[in-house]
Each structure stands twice: as structure tokens, then as C-alpha cells.
A and B are shown apart, each in its own frame.
Chain A
């Protein structure tokens, strides 16, 4: 069995890994700046999302709302699903259209790391994304973890609201260690879980007042120890209790086991399902040296020689497939996004364009933030490698390539995308291969694609010859195995 050879230039390798997708202009930009400057620019807190993205976000009212405001916003009160759907929509728009591509990928990663599904906490999930994840993704992981530990969304999801001294609820105490910091390999014990639960007992979100309540009367008082951390835990004031929780979270966040778990998971996101331990060592060291500074660890990862050597080792998840097609073809939304309509409380946010994008991701099992378990969406290839995902993916690629769903998406004319290319099958196929892959097609793939593309033009369509060749060829190139890896 022969193996098809596709070799990408380093800039394409880097962009495929660190963006949801890229167009020729992104390549030009990374080529002129160089890899490390490009990463620095992407991680600059002052980088703007860009006009195209900002304009699309204008209609979303919950973006700047507090938990209290969302809790009182009539359309969401009447139909709480709308709140989660609005966040899913905002998220998809940012991933597809923001110029802060690496930032958005990291936001997704940490939303998976400290996962809360949107349907669990409609009042607070949008603020969680904004105030816990986005506010800290260019800062230190311990700060993000502290913010998440007392946030109403996490208190709701992992049962902090139900955790009292008489019978501590262990859910958060366990996942804090298993998923958010040490991982189970570290060897913490059931006592550590119970003690962590005790530390957080008596802390809950008061939905009526929309505020955090730290109730010394329901807090378990007395000495606690968790995985080597000890605290007398004897202060009966809200601020004393709060500082004990923060001390525990920061302790766990800065363990070497956490550094390793954090680095493994991050490297799995960007390099390979089973990333090389040399990179993990280097990232862990950087993590500990910088007190868990996320951008520093990301930069260390990208600077490692293994980064560019891991070309094509990740299967694109559904979101990344959609993003890569949309961004490479410069797909635009066919209509301006309709703002929510407060008079339609049962169907507040009804924009069909965004609905179809969110729906598409949902049929492939990746509706933003709606994985049903606390560990976040799977990040290895196996779960995503199946009939459901593959056939739907090929069909979506063909639909976008042809503009079949033109009520939702606008594809720039191929005459513009391929300007200067002769309207002959081979010329069109070769140009598209350069556009998507930056390299020539393997001979066998080229022959197969040309065999289908060549007879396409029969003179009966109003579309140009070039457009017809390009639609068919694009559909086929998008289903090549190579295009489905990053």
C-alpha cells in the first residue's frame, strides 16, 4: 500500500495548528513576521478581534451583562435555552471570524479544561467565559483556577452550592484534583477529596440576590490537609474562608504534577494525541518557573523543535474542519446577523445563519461548550473518527464548495479566488491544491480528481467554466485525508 506524500511548509504547519483556519493573507503575514513574532502578536492583549468579527457580535445583548442582569433578562428567564444558544453563537462567530485566532483556540482549550456546559448554568455561563476564561487566558493558570473555583457557573455544575459542613459534597473537591490540577496519576487519596470538599463547604451562589455567599455556619471548621497542603482552617469569617480556598487552589495549581498535566493537555491540543515527553518536560519547567503563565508555556511549546515536526498529527475536530474551510475559502455569512428580539420570548434569538452553523456542529457532537461530562470534549482522534462525522464532513465541504446553502453562506466567486487561472481542469485543480495545501497534489490523487472534474463542464450552466471546475475540485480536495489533519 503506497502512502500519499504531502509536505507542508512550516508556516502552513504552524497556522494549521494555531488557527481555526487560514487564508492566503494569514500566510503572508506569518511569513513576513516570522513564527515567534506572529505568536507574540496573537497573544498581545491589545490585539483587536477585527471589524468583521466585531460587527457580527453587535446584536448579542448578553456579551456585557453581569450574572444579575442575565438572571433578570426576560427572554432568558422565559427560555433559558436562549442564553446558552447565544453564547454558542458568539463563540462560533469568534472562532470563525476573529483575528485573534490563537487566543480563541486557547479560550476553547481552557473552556474544555475547566468545563461547564452551557445548559447547566444559563445565568452565569456567559460571564464564566468572559470573566474566568477570557480574562485569564493571557495570564496565569492559578488565577484562572481561583476565579473558576468560586464562580457561580462552577458552583452550580460541580455542586458547590450543595456543599455544607455536615456532609461535604465531593464533586468539585474531586474534579479540582483529577481534572483541573493533579490528575489521578498523582496519587491523591479519598481523604484529599473529602478535605478539599470541606475547604469549599458553606460557599454557594445566592440566586435571589445574585451574589456569592460564604456562610461560616455551614463551613467545616478545623484543620484540613490535601495532598501535602495543610491549613488550620479556623477563621470563622467569609474572608478567612475565602483565603483558605485560594491557598488550596494555588497550592494545587503549582504542583509539579499539575505542571505536567497542564502541559500534556496543552501539547495534546496543538501537537499530537500523545505528545513527546521532551516537549512536556520543557513546558512543565516553564510552567513552574513562571508560576503557571499561560502565554509563556505556549511560547515554549511553539519554540520547541517538536512543534513543527508534529505536522498533521491531529485529526481536525468538527469545529476545526468547519473553520478551516470557511477561512480558506473566505466564506462570509450571507446576511447580517439579526439581533435578538425581546418580543419573541420563546424564540428570542432566531438568526437562521448562526443556527445552521451551531446545528451543524451539534450533529457532529461538538456544539460549543456542550459536552455532557466535566472533562471537556475529547481531544484524541479516535472518538471523532467515525461514519457520522466523516460523511457529514464531506457533505458540508461539498455544500460550501458549491454554495448550496447560499441562504446562509456566501462564497466569494471562484473567478476572484483563482484570478489569473486558466479555465481548464488541470489548471484549476492545481491552483486549488496550491490554495488549500500549498503544494501539488500527489499524482494518484490528482488523476482521480481530474477524472471527475474534466467532464464537468457541458456548456449548459450559466456558471462560468472555471466556477464549475472549481466547485467540483474543491469538494474533492476538502475530503482528502490530508485536509482533515492539522
Chain B
């Protein structure tokens, strides 16, 4: 084993504080030199990662930023030696405290994992084994890598659970992952990763799947722990808000190549490369712009005390009641965008689904124009179906892979009696509206990128000539530069067709940019509702205030670059 110049961490001895460790650090914790990772034959490019070099020092957080396909996760997995079999590192070296891990064999890699280098992942919901208790899963790390006896291991685990600020460590120790929330599970992952005080922590989008308030807590926790232990952190993200919040230095990647690297402040304020500039200016501002009011426009949708209650049945047990939405009053006028923002489980999607009658509301009324549709029987509802259309979150899963784009768009109108010729002509027009080639109608979904697919989904919704368009997290799965284009497209279509839009999102920045009115939902209720400027500018409700305070990078105005 190649020992480094810096004091080697021992699991039983207390480590130096961040300050000391940082100044005392010999060489960098991680040094990636000219790393090249090749893709299998037939991929869209030869190398997933090409000649990338960077370092992570002790006590430092380095962010790898890039859009999907930039190779940022591939780099992380290469360091851990967890690369999929199809990908092969073909050049360069990765030095972990001076030891080249690319040259290490499987046994040596296993010894290094969790002791010197640890990794946490994007999806805390699926990253833990569902059939083992959290305590057992952390215990595995200790029993694999140390000689501690059962009591010592248990004490150490309870210690680390307390350090990641989980309440009642003893109860958490015996809990299964499904009994914990997403944020708690990510804390378990962090505890597992840091229990043996590794010198390097790789965090692969660790907060992307979490709610914004939870995200803020987890980011704070990672920063605290890494500072007190002097851990070097390689933090992978696509979110510049997170970068502004946590990074010391930033490396920007594009198509597997390093675009530029520098201190956070420099990259965000004075990026040297056009690509970086474009990426940063695509981040939507959290401050809404002033938008014209439409007091006299016709009301397209009005809900009155709308509610949805789910009840579970038991033979002997008491029935479980979940109130997913309670007393929701909303209205949208022609040409207006109403945003519903909230965290997961707040009921925002339930409301959208009730309005579209994809599920049946249990209380209240939904008026589409003058028609009440909340209690309308299915047969009578059919002609009204075309008046509300939805664009869903995931463009990869909301299209049938075996039918062509043309059939996908024309199916709806033809179902409502339009002839094939006319429907196709409409589809061609709409393809132009969403800026796609009308001649691509005979292609299949897999031939399009995520952003293009979402445009197709929008075209499909518009083909029904709806009065109300519901966008349910319609841009959340897209990269920031693509997201910007789709948002602009949606706004343009709204203006041109004078369409009413209900925009469901968890992303405050997106809501700030596209909405005229905003309803903030929490636990099934609308806690604040008003013009976007007013809600964002002077929130009144405590929950809204907390939500805004948690938005990462809220103090940074992205895209206002200083003169270089």
C-alpha cells in the first residue's frame, strides 16, 4: 500500500479539524490526470471522458458541473472502480493520495472503498437495500473493513447516526429504509459513507431527488461534516444553485471534455468560455418579471373547495384516511399561467389530476367555462376531455415507443372525429409551432432527444385544441439549457393561442419565470395564492418563506457577468 504524506486517517483516532487538515495537507487527495474512458462501439462518440485532469485537495469541495451526457458521473464511477463493463478507462491515471486506482486490482479497490473513498448517490429512495435494516447496512461496512467487535461496531454506528443528525439513533438503527423519509435515507447513506472517515467523498447529485428544504439541510450537513473532518469532496451536480451554495472550485464539463475550471466565484461571475456563459445564463432567475394583467379575460377554469381523500380499507383495522387535497380554490383566465408550487406530497399533482378528471375528486366543484365536470359521469365527460390536456414530466416514458410521432399526435383529434388528412395537416403545422421538422412525423420516439420529445408532447396536447393546458413538472427532467428553450416555447404558445396554462412545478426558479399567478401548496392545502411578483417579492405565509429561504443559490443572480 502506498502511504501518502498526509496523516493517514484511523477509524479509532479523532481527526484533526478542517482548518488544520487543510493547511497540513500534503498533496491533493485526488488527482485525475488525462483521464480517458472509452465508450462501446456504435455510441454517439468514441470517448465518454476525454483527457480530463483536475485535483481535489483536502478539505475542499470541487463541483463537477455539466448537462446530461457530459461524462461527470462516468468520472465518479471510474474513481470508485464501479464503471459499467461496457466502459473502459483507456488512458491517464487517477491518484488517490498518490496511489493509482486505475492500476489497482479488484481486491485492493474493495479495500479502498468506504475506507479511503466513499460515494453517495442521487436516489436515496433506491440506494439502500429495502430488506435490511439501516443499522445492518452500516454494520456491513464496519464488519468488512475493521476488526471491531459487535458492541464497538454498534456504538460507532449510533455515534455516526447522531453525527448526521438523525433523531433517535437507536430507533433508526432498527428501521428499514421504507420507514424513513428521503432526507433521512440520504443521511443514512452519508453516515455509511463517512463512518470510516474516508479522505475522499464522491457525491453524485446527492440532493437532486430531494425537496428543496431537505436539500438545504443535506447540503449544510455535507459541508459541516467535510469541514470538521477535512474530507475532500467531489460533488457532481447539474444545478448551479447548488454550486453557488457549496463549491470551493468548479469544473465545467461538456461531451466528456473539461471546458474550464476555477474558483466558484470566478466561474459564476467571470466565466471564460462561451459554453459556461450559456449554461449559467440559462438558469432561470428567482425574481419574477412584471407581466401584464388580464383582468377582463374570460375565466377558463375555476375550482371550488376541491378536495381528494384517499381511504384504505381493513378487515379488522381502522380505515386509513389520507387527505391529498383540501379546499382548493383556484381560477385561471384565458392567456394566463397559474403555477402550483410545492414539495413532494403537497398535493399539487393530485389537484392537476382532479382538474383533468384523471382521478375523481371527492369534494368540491371544477368548472371548465360554465360546465361543472367534477361529478359528471364518464360518458357525458368524454366530449369535454379534449378541453383539458396534460404534458407530463418524463418525456421518455410518456410516449409509446412503438408508435410513430405522427400517430401519437393525430390519435387524439382523430378519436374526436377529425379525418386523417386534416389531422396530419394539423400535426405538420404543430411540429413547426414547436420548432421541429414536419417531415419527422413518421419517426419513432427513440429517434428524438429528451427536449425534442417534450416538444412533441406539447404538440400532441395542442393538437386537441384545448382551452387549458396542464404542464405537470413538464421541464423538470430536462437539462437547464433545454429547459430554457422549452419554457420559452411554452410561454410563446400561451401568448399566441391565448391559452390558459396550469403549471405544476417544485422548482421555484421556473415558477418565477413562467407564472402570472402562483399558488403555494403544503400538505394538501393552498397556503399562499397571489400574483407571482407579490408571492415571490413579499411572501406572507411561514411555509412559503421557509421554502424560498431554502432555494439554493438564491443570493446569486445568475447570468449577470462581470466584465472580464
A binds B: no
Chain B residues within CB distance 8 Å of chain A: none
Chain A residues within CB distance 8 Å of chain B: none
